[in-house]
Structure 1
Amino acid sequence: MMQIDLKYPQYQLLLFNRSETGTVLYCPSYGYAPKPIIEKPPLLLPQKDSWAGETKQNFLFKDKGQEEFLGIVLAKPLNLPWLIPQRQEALPEWNGERIKELFEQLETQNNWQVFYQSFEVVELKPANA
């Protein structure tokens, strides 16, 4: 389980992860966080009504290497179709076109914050440990 303790109640959270295997959006997503609003901090992922919450799948880092998380909190939600959680794209990919769309819409708002966290995965435990 991941606990996100950002003191921005009623703000929308966009949470991106980049690793050796690619970049995905965890929040909002059907896979981990269908409700991207931080109703009352802390926000716990996976959310109960997500795919991971229903199947009891917590975060699992499968490869050694650098993991980076970028969080953006916004006072007003963005109007981007790929930010609507969908089963067919449980963890939306963060590609060049989407980055451009995201920053174009962010430029129209003046009340948002960016947070960044990086860490190194140095050891992998067996699944049954």
Structure 2
Amino acid sequence: MTASLEKNGLKVLVIDDSSTIRRSAEIFLSQAGYQVILAEDGFDALAKINDHHPALIFCDILMPRLDGYQTCALIKKSTKFHTTPVIMLSSKDGLFDRARGAMVGSDEYLTKPFTKDSLLKTVREHTANAISK
């Protein structure tokens, strides 16, 4: 069975203002059989979430216009998407940043630069229920 069949083409949204981070995540996730949607900032992401209904969202913290904390809070306040796992992405690994992420409802905190293994492990852990549905 191929990876894409096992994952049923689950959609993963990656929100990051860095094209390098978006591209890295897209390569890692696509190779593993996930369908990848990319967004450059929170506003772009909110429109795409509504259109694509991703199974999981990776969200950078430091972005222009709408930062990751605000974006995560809006997703978690939404009646339609409040159960969608949101994983914060940040180059900052401080306790304050992790706590603030948890306060706005993030499900996990991944430090950049991430590895292919850490990214895929996080997706597997948070989408296990979506695959078994």
TM-score, length basis structure 2: 0.26
Query: Which structure's CA Rg is the greater one?
Result: 1
- Larger relative helix fraction: 2
Q: Which has the higher contact order (CA 8 A, sep 6+)?
A: 1
- Larger relative strand fraction: 1
